[in-house]
Amino acid sequence: MTQSISIKDLTLNFGAVSVLEDLNLDVAQGEFLVLLGSSGCGKSTLLNCIAGLLDITDGEIHIQGHNVTWEEPSKRGIGMVFQSYALYPQMTVEGNLAFGLKNARVPKDEIAKRIARAAEVLQIEPLLKRKPGALSGGQRQRVAIGRALVRDVDVFLFDEPLSNLDAKLRADLRVEIKRLHQTLKNTMIYVTHDQVEAMTLADRIAIMKGGQIMQLAPPSEIYNRPVNKYVAGFIGSPAMNFMDGQLDGGAQHFDTGRGLDFSVQGYEFAAAPTSGPVWLGLRPEHVQSGKWAEGQPVQMEALVDMVEPMGSDTQVWAKVNGQDLRFRMDGQEAVAIGDRIPIGFDPARLSLFDKSTETRL
Amino acid sequence: MTAAEMNMKLAVTPRGAKPRSPFAPRNIMLYGTLIVFSIYYLLPLYVMIVTSLKDMAEIRVGNVFSPPVDITFQPWVKAWAEACTGINCDGLSRGFWNSVRILIPSLIISVSVAALTGYVLACWRFKGSEVFFGILLLGAFIPYQVLLYPLVIILRELGLFGSLWGLVLVHTIFAMPINVLLFRNYFVAIPEELFKAARVDGAGFWGIFFRIVIPMSLPIFVVSGIIQVTGIWNDFLFGVVYTRPENYPMTVQLNNIVNSVQGVKEYNVNMAATLLTGLVPLTVYFFSGKLFIRGIAAGAVKG
């Protein structure tokens, strides 16, 4: 596998504050990598370091096999798309697309050719003579993508490109970015705090927290086998249920100590199970209820506390032997506060974390 | 939405409160006050204009407010080309051209240096740049008179004392605090991502300044330009202190004409000379007023 981007021991300090520390990351040729995390986790900072917009304190950055650690942003072979579009307001769309190429002294006919091609791909041909002020948010972001496109680069960097758009446009443009990636097969690094964007777009997701990458894996693995409690709680909506309790490693039995206990046989332990305090994570959508609860390896009864009907499904807040539990039911099932309904789940879909280290068992 | 579109909208949807009568008490109060204040401020101008168009015989009659009986432009000609100051008798024209020769380099250099300084302070922060900016702002509070003599010594040491370029240097220095503040606050409001995008697009320090920042900042250049034109044109103190008589600007020349103690006081010539001197800033305000207001307002909201 050829590496498109390779980051070695990257450290960045702002004064005495360490923002990124000894970060290593390899991105394969043509891969779509999403940097995901809540605000302040260092994801945008990392992207700015890759782009060369921030001078790093220590480490190395290689793009397409070249050491670009101290290279100017324009010489790194990257194109970048920003959250606020960052179009030059006094230039037409065409001028915006041509600006970087003119700076790089690309011949005129080549500039025209590249603009025509980018405009066709992004369907912005009718807008070329307009100024950014006369465009809608979606159109502006398309032009901003076009500006990265005409540079004919190997690596695209996206810094929360859809965050300023409304929900419908966001969904449309998300699909378009995915299609663009399938057509161009460029390496793309995409920063977002939106887990839907991350799950739908990414070949691999890097979940960041406190300037470190918590987990770097394909979306399905992140969802099914989160490496720690933070990742487990971050991914998934509604969020994962957590229960604290004791695990009996030998019998593979879990006990909250507050009246709820069940077997976790079927759970794939990373290492031989040991006994001790644990966090048990259970995704709301993995809890079966009503008649679907039958036949599930673990079964119990839930007392419905609150109901949130969403149409397609209903979110239920319930209590199971004093333990809060949130789960989803089919939207067509009748359920009311105070109902007692049977629920069940498969331990193979659970996540177990060590109580003190919060890492996956 | 343009005014025309606005009117269309109003025309097709006749909603809202009934239009007020033009003679409603509120309007009478409002326009009455405005008219009274306009008269108050315009009256001196009126007196100046009519006096400048009378001959001395008519002025001696003493009807200050009456319009001229015989309109004569002789005082204007005299003020421009014939009035004597010292041994020279070529009127204000010499001072006018001196002022132009002082104004143009001072304007260009001071606005350019202020814009560049503001750009660096806003967009290319360096260690201590905020302190630097703070010290610069302090300069706005120092009375000119305090620095008058030290500057004489500095100019002497530089070999610029008495020359036009010495005065240009002084104007540039005193323009810095307020103009740098204007430019810096305007540039700070430009989104940071724009600079990042420009850097990815291969523009450097000067490329970003000339091709991104300046084209976006016309209003603030107009504001700074107007402040400088009026400031430099109306300057008397620096002109009289730092230049020699052959380089005296128009204001100094005007003073020498108006305040001459010999012979008859020619009120009509004095009025004409004063009006001529004030014409340049007046014209500048007249043609760029709209941009000036927009620039000041933009700075106020964004800064």
Give the domain CATH number at A164. 3.40.50.300
Q: Which of A205, A227, A249 is the last residue of a domain?
A: A227
Cα separation values, B48 from A260, A287, B269, B275, Å? 99, 92, 10, 8
Q: How far is A308 from chain B (nearest CA, A)?
A: 41
Mean per-residue pLDDT over chain B, rounded: 86
**Together in a domain, A163 and A74:** yes
Query: Do residue B164 and residue B264 come from a single domain?
Result: yes
**Residue A86 C-alpha, separation from nearest chain B C-alpha, in angstroms:** 5
Classify residue A19 by its DSSP letter. Answer: E
Reported as a pLDDT band with limits 50, 70 and 90, residue B246 is confident
Specify the pLDDT at position B290.
75
Give all strands of the β-sheet with A3-14 in edge-to-edge order.
A17-28, A3-14, A58-63, A66-67
Q: What share of chain A is helix, strand, coil (3-state, %, to 5)?
A: 30, 35, 35
* Residue A210 Cα, gap to closest chain B Cα (Å): 23
pLDDT at B298: 55
Is residue B67 located within the same domain as residue B194?
no
Tell me, yes or no, whether B54 and B133 share the same domain: no
Say what the pLDDT of residue A235 is.
Answer: 92
Domain boundary among A161, A193, A227: A227
Average pLDDT over residues A277-281: 93
CA dist., res. B197 & res. B202, Å (int): 9
Q: Is A38 on the interface with B (CB under 8 A)?
A: no
* Residue A147 · residue A96 · CB < 8 Å: yes
Residues 131-190 in A contacting B (C-alpha not used; CB under 8 Å):
144, 147, 151, 159
Query: Looking at chain B, which residue has its C-alpha nearest residue A104?
Result: B202
Which positions in chain B touch A103 (Cβ < 8 Å)? Answer: 201-203, 207
For chain B, how many residues are written?
A: 303
Q: Is residue B4 part of a domain?
A: no
DSSP string of A187-245?
Answer: EEEEEES-HHHHHHH-SEEEEEETTEEEEEE-HHHHHHS-SBHHHHHHSSSSPPEEEEE
Residue A346's contacts (CB-CB under 8 Å, 6 or more residues apart) are A266, A286, A296, A297, A298
In a domain, A10, yes or no: yes
Are A268 and A323 within one domain?
Answer: yes
**Main-chain phi, psi angles of A279, to 5 degrees:** -105, 135
- Let me know if residue B9 belongs to a domain: no
pLDDT of amino acid B27 = 87
Mean pLDDT computed over every residue of chain A = 91
Q: Is residue A361 part of a domain?
A: no
The answer to whether position B83 is within a domain reads no
- Which stretches of chain B sit within 8 Å of chain A by CB? 191, 193-194, 196-203, 207, 211-212, 215-216
Q: Which residue type sits at A84?
A: S
Summarised one tens digit per residue, pLDDT across range B127-137 is 899 999 999 98
- Which ipTM was obtained for this model? 0.84
CATH code of the domain in which A341 resides: 2.40.50.140
Residue A74 has its nearest CB partner, among B191, B199, B212, at: B199
Contacts of B202 in chain A (CB under 8 A): 72-75, 100, 103-104
Which domain does A335 fall in, by range? 234-354
The pTM for the full model equals: 0.80
Give yes or no for residue B297 having a pLDDT over 50.
yes
Same-domain check for residues A220 and A97? yes
The nearest alpha carbon in chain A to B191 belongs to A86
Evaluate whether A68 touches A75 at the Cβ level (below 8 Å): yes
User: What pLDDT is attached to residue B2?
Assistant: 57
For A308-342, the pLDDT digits (tens) are 998 888 999 999 988 899 999 988 888 889 889 99
B18-22 average pLDDT score: 73
**CB-based contact, A80 to chain B, within 8 Å:** yes
Total domain count, chain B: 2
Are A155 and A26 found together in one domain? yes
| Pair (A194, A238) in one structural domain | no
DSSP state of B65: S
**B212 vs A contacts (CB less than 8 Å):** 88
Q: Are residues B151 and B260 in the same domain?
A: yes
Reported residue count of chain A is 361
The reply to whether A221 and A288 lie within a common domain is: no
B213/chain A closest Cα distance in angstroms: 9
Residues B229 and B156 in one domain: yes
Q: Give me the residues paired with residue A8 across strands.
A: A60
Q: Which domain holds residue B43?
A: 15-72
- Inform me whether the pLDDT recorded for B88 exceeds 80: no
Give the pLDDT of residue B301: 42
Q: What pLDDT is attached to residue B299?
A: 46
Kindly identify which residue of chain B lies nearest to residue A76, measuring between CA atoms.
Answer: B200
A244 and A196 in a single domain? The answer is no
The reply to whether B68 and B106 lie within a common domain is no
Q: Which two tokens stand for residue B174?
A: 């005193």
Instruction: Judge whether A93 and A39 are in contact, CB under 8 Å.
Output: no
Which residue of chain A has the CA closest to B193? A86
Q: Are strands A212-217 and A241-248 parallel, antiparallel or unpaired?
A: unpaired
Q: Per residue in A58-97, is it b (16+ CB within 10 Å) or e — as a string?
A: ebebbbbeeebbeeebbebbbbbbbbbbbbbebbbbbbbb
Query: Which band of pLDDT confidence, cut at 50, 70 and 90, is reported for residue A279?
Result: very high
CA atoms within 13 A on the CB side of B190: 29
* Residue B251 in domain: yes
Given an 8 Å threshold on Cβ–Cβ distance, is B193 in contact with A84?
yes
CB spacing of B202 vs A72 below 8 angstroms:
yes
Residues B35 and B134 in one domain: no
B221 and B111 in contact (C-beta within 8 Å)? yes
At residue B296, the pLDDT reads 63
User: What pLDDT digit, counting tens, does each position of A42-57 carry?
Assistant: 899 999 999 999 889 9
> Can you tell me the mean pLDDT for A4-10?
91
Alpha-carbon gap, residue B224 to B299, rounded angstroms:
11
Q: Tell me if B263 is assigned to some domain.
A: yes
Q: pLDDT tens, A204-227?
A: 999 999 888 999 999 999 999 999
B3 belongs to a structural domain: no
DSSP letter at A30 equals: T
What is the tens place of the pLDDT at every residue in A123-170?
A: 899 999 999 988 888 899 999 999 999 988 989 999 999 988 888 889
Judged by CB atoms closer than 8 Å, whether chains meet at A51 and B212 is answered as no
Does B126 lie in the same domain as B39? Answer: no
Task: Return the pLDDT at A258.
Answer: 84
Query: Do the chains contact at B202 and A100, CB–CB below 8 Å?
Result: yes
Q: Could you tell me if B38 and B168 lie in one domain?
A: no
B291/A213: higher pLDDT? A213
Closest CA to B279 of B233, B225, B228: B233
Chain A residues lying within 8 Å of B216, measured CB to CB: 89-90
Interchain pair A84, B203: CB under 8 A = no
- pLDDT of the residue at A164: 86
Determine the pLDDT at residue A3.
84
Residue type (1 letter), B55 = D
- Decide: A33 and A202 in contact? Cβ < 8 Å: yes
Q: Quick check: A84 contacting B, CB < 8 Å? A: yes
Residues A100 and A213 in one domain: yes
DSSP B8-53: HHHHH---SSPPPPTT-HHHHHHHHHHHHHHHHHHHHHHHHHHHHT
Count how many domains chain A has.
2
Is the domain of A195 the same as that of A337?
no
Of the partner residues A73, A80, A86, the one whose CB lies closest to the CB of residue B194: A86
- Within 8 A by CB and 6+ apart from A145, the residues are A81, A122, A161, A177, A180
Give the max Cα distance, chain B: 76
**A70-79, A207-216, A282-291, B82-91 — which is least confidently predicted?**
B82-91
Residue B48 has pLDDT above 70, yes or no: yes
Assess contact for B94 and B244: CB atoms under 8 A: no
Same domain (yes/no): B203, B153? yes
> How far is the CA of A16 from the CAs of A13, A22, A60, A183, in angstroms?
6, 16, 21, 44
- Do B152 and B37 have their domain in common? no
Examine the fold and report which residue of A203, A227, A251 is the final residue of a domain before the chain moves on: A227
Instruction: Please report which residue ranges of B124-261 form alpha helices under DSSP H.
Output: 129-138, 144-158, 164-188, 192-200, 205-208, 214-216, 218-234, 237-242, 250-258
Q: Provide the strand spans (E) within chain A.
A: 3-14, 17-28, 32-36, 58-63, 66-67, 78-81, 155-159, 187-192, 204-209, 212-217, 241-248, 253-255, 261-263, 276-282, 288-289, 298-309, 313-320, 323-330, 340-345, 351-354
Residue A100 domain flag? yes
Q: Say if residue A220 is in the same domain as residue A338.
A: no
User: A275, A360 in Cβ contact below 8 A?
Assistant: no
Residue of B nearest to A105 (CA): B202
Both structure tokens of A198 = 């991350």
A219 plus A268 within the same structural domain: no
Is residue B97 located within the same domain as residue B34? no
Q: Is the residue at A359 inside a domain? A: no
Region of residue A338 (phi > 0: left; psi between -120 and 50: alpha; otherwise: beta): left
B97 with B88: CB under 8 angstroms?
no
Q: Does A82 contact B at CB distance below 8 Å?
A: yes
Quick one: A138 and A90 in the same domain? yes
Q: What φ, ψ does residue A24 adopt, rounded to 5°?
A: -120, 135
| Closest residue in B to A158 (Cα–Cα) | B197
A72 with B216: Cβ contact below 8 A: no
Residue B85 lies in a domain: no
Identify whether B77 is part of a domain. no
Rounded to whole angstroms, the Cα distance separating A90 from A134 reads: 11
